[in-house]
Structure 1
Amino acid sequence: MDSGSSSEVALEFLPYFRAYKDGRVERFFGTDVVPPSIDSHGGTATKDVQIVQETGLAARIFIPSTIELGQKLPVLVYYHGGGFYMGSPFCATYHNHLASPVAEANIVAVSVAYRLAPEHPVPIGYEDSWVALRWVASHFAGEGSEAWLREHANFQRVFLAGDSMGGNIVHNMAARAGVEGLPGVRLLGICLVHPYFARKETVGTCVADRSWLFSCPTTSGFDDPRINPAEDSRLSRVGCSRVLIFITEKDETRDRGLFYYETLRTSGWGGVVEIVEAKGEEHVFHLFRPNCEKALALLKKLSSFIDQDNA
């Protein structure tokens, strides 16, 4: 292969990611690793677990440092963003992001490290996400391989959350749970932060649309039911009673979050959906400015969403 073709870019999203048509990938975000620690750090303790040894599917688990022996807490399963091709629960950005609600809301969190495209194209990311959720649920009867989940997870108070493409994953997991069931688990609510969705009218010129086509080369396009809620026959069966959506004024995918809100609200689904907009902010601003006023407001809202109707 000549040097010209080997350097041809397939997808570029600087300063975070570049992929070449010869298969090479350069990731500039999510590659750093914060080591887990069972000693309290910022109000939390963490450990890493291997869910499927053969595939490398893994997760990072967080518990509050104030947790007591035998204490049961709500569970938050989190799916990071990054267009299916970057991001990691182990990097500083997502480690710190998950540590905050764990300490704030007094919950157990499981942050899923699904495999990434293009090495592992969609639907692998969705399948890994479902396997991880089923693995969490497998601890409901005091069984399963992970002691922190056996001892501290309240499986009658389970929530899902994710940002950007992770928000899309959250919808797909809740829809699948509504159709297939999630034995032993009561999924109370899901939170989609600046989620990615699409519609048939989408031109497909924004970064998020190009990311989808790159990560899922077998997709039918923007009528794919995994990203187009209007085409998803499972929508009215989303398996929870409450949905919280965050959008931002300056996000190029803002209208996609609104589209999901309106489509879910009129689908026949019997739950309550709420949408909250941050004025003057851009996509996933809270990840990179976690201490700004509106990021702290987002954290408070998420915490109250989890704590609502606590019994």
Structure 2
Amino acid sequence: MESPSTEIAHKFAMFRVYKDGRIEKFIPTHKIPPSTDPTTGVQSKDVIISTEPNISARLFLPKIHDPTRKLPVLFYVHGGGFCIESAFSPGYHNHLVTLAAEANVIAVSIEYGLFPDHPIPACYEDSWAGLKWMAAHAEGNGPDPWLNDHADFSKVYIAGDSAGANIGHTMAVRVGSMGLPGVKVVGLVLVHAYFGGDEKDDAMWLYMCPTNKGSEDPRIKPPAEDLAILGCEKVLMFMAEKDKFVRVGEWYCDELKKSGWKGSLEIIKHLGENHVFHLFNSDCENALHLVQKFASFINQA
């Protein structure tokens, strides 16, 4: 057998591409099963949304104290540069457990297709399919009893971090342009969002998306017309001072204000912190503050 090529054709932050077409990711993705958290009582389980393509999600249900009270819904999109990480990763599982408990929300954490097995735009299409699957429970007759019995679809929030924040933005644009019957998306939470601007990261995104429209592709550089129709009433933007994406986060906020969008924008910047610090150091003061602000944003009247 012919040995694999060792010549590198492309090298990006998350993976390298060899001249024979092989792709080697630098960071493995670990997954853990759903469980009941002994400290908070938050339960989790995995559901299948579609088999062709293969789309699933992890659902998180906080401890129910009053069965007659419906709870807000959080649709969460994990980060990972569109090519690594998972809704089932330990960091994201634990983060969603914490959010579900702190905000008292039902969370749907989407497991979307990753490059290279699923090149972009699979991540956007899979997430949209997941959002529509969630919305199918609005009349109380969807496939999942947790959502049927406990979800308040007049209080839906879309959120994500890094690449997931980018995807979450696109979901809010689609809600604004196409609607989501039976659902009211109240807010959008963007944590350390990627919206282009870094030449190397942009080159990686363009490589992962064979049908791209160049560096001005609206999915990585949202135009004013997309920002103006965001399908939510309010946006919470988290930034970290030492994050290389902090400048594009500031750009996004400035463009959103100028776009004509009628909602309210809240910006929180954590000083001295780097990209997705809350996933790597979840017990630090700023990570706890991030979760508290996230929860209060959801529970504001």
Deviations 1:82-139 (A, max 9, x none): 1111110111011001110101111100000000012211111100010100100010
Tell whether the 8 Å contact from 2:12 to 2:204 is kept in structure 1 after alignment. no
2:215 counterpart SS class: coil
Aligned counterparts, 1:172-187, within 5 A: 172-187=170-185
Q: Distance in 2 between matches of 1:63 and 1:130?
A: 22
Structure 2 residue corresponding to 1:213, chosen from 192, 206, 213: 206
1:136 counterpart SS class: helix
Q: Following TM superposition, by how much is the alpha carbon of 1:195 offset from its aligned partner in structure 2, in angstroms?
A: 0.3
Structure 2 residue corresponding to 1:290, chosen from 278, 282, 285: 282
Q: Distance in 2 between matches of 1:72 and 1:194?
A: 30
Tell whether the 8 Å contact from 2:61 to 2:105 is kept in structure 1 after alignment. yes
Q: Following TM superposition, by how much is the alpha carbon of 1:22 offset from its aligned partner in structure 2, in angstroms?
A: 3.7
- Which residue is equivalent to 1:103? 101
Give the gaps of 5 or more residues in structure 1.
none
User: CA RMSD, aligned part only?
Assistant: 2.0
Q: Following TM superposition, by how much is the alpha carbon of 1:213 offset from its aligned partner in structure 2, in angstroms?
A: 2.0
- Which residue is equivalent to 1:10? 10
2:158 counterpart SS class: strand
Does residue 304 (structure 1) correspond to residue 296 (structure 2)? The answer is yes
- Which residue is equivalent to 1:41? 38
1:172 counterpart SS class: helix
Structure 2 residue corresponding to 1:204, chosen from 189, 195, 199: 199
Structure 2 residue corresponding to 1:87, chosen from 82, 85, 88: 85
- Which residue is equivalent to 1:188? 186
Deviations 1:249-295 (A, max 9, x none): 11111111001100011100000011111111111111100110111
Tell whether the 8 Å contact from 1:226 to 1:232 is kept in structure 2 after alignment. no
Q: Distance in 1 between matches of 2:65 and 2:8?
A: 52
- Which residue is equivalent to 1:259? 251
Tell whether the 8 Å contact from 1:30 to 1:93 is kept in structure 2 after alignment. no
Deviations 1:163-213 (A, max 9, x none): 001111111000100010010001000000000012xxx4613xx323312
Q: Following TM superposition, by how much is the alpha carbon of 1:31 offset from its aligned partner in structure 2, in angstroms?
A: 2.4
Q: Distance in 2 between matches of 1:153 and 1:23?
A: 45
2:5 counterpart SS class: helix
Q: Following TM superposition, by how much is the alpha carbon of 1:3 offset from its aligned partner in structure 2, in angstroms?
A: 4.8
Q: Distance in 1 between matches of 2:38 and 2:24?
A: 31
1:237 counterpart SS class: coil
Deviations 1:145-166 (A, max 9, x none): 1111101111000001100011
**Aligned letter for 1:10?**
H
Q: Distance in 2 between matches of 1:265 and 1:4?
A: 51
TM-score (normalizing by structure 1): 0.90
2:10 counterpart SS class: strand
Structure 2 residue corresponding to 1:228, chosen from 221, 230, 238: 221
How has the CA–CA distance of structure 1 residues 303 and 203 changed in structure 2, closer, same or farther, with 3 Å as cutoff?
closer
- Which residue is equivalent to 1:268? 260
| Identical counterparts, % of pairs | 48
Q: Distance in 2 between matches of 1:52 and 1:95?
A: 21
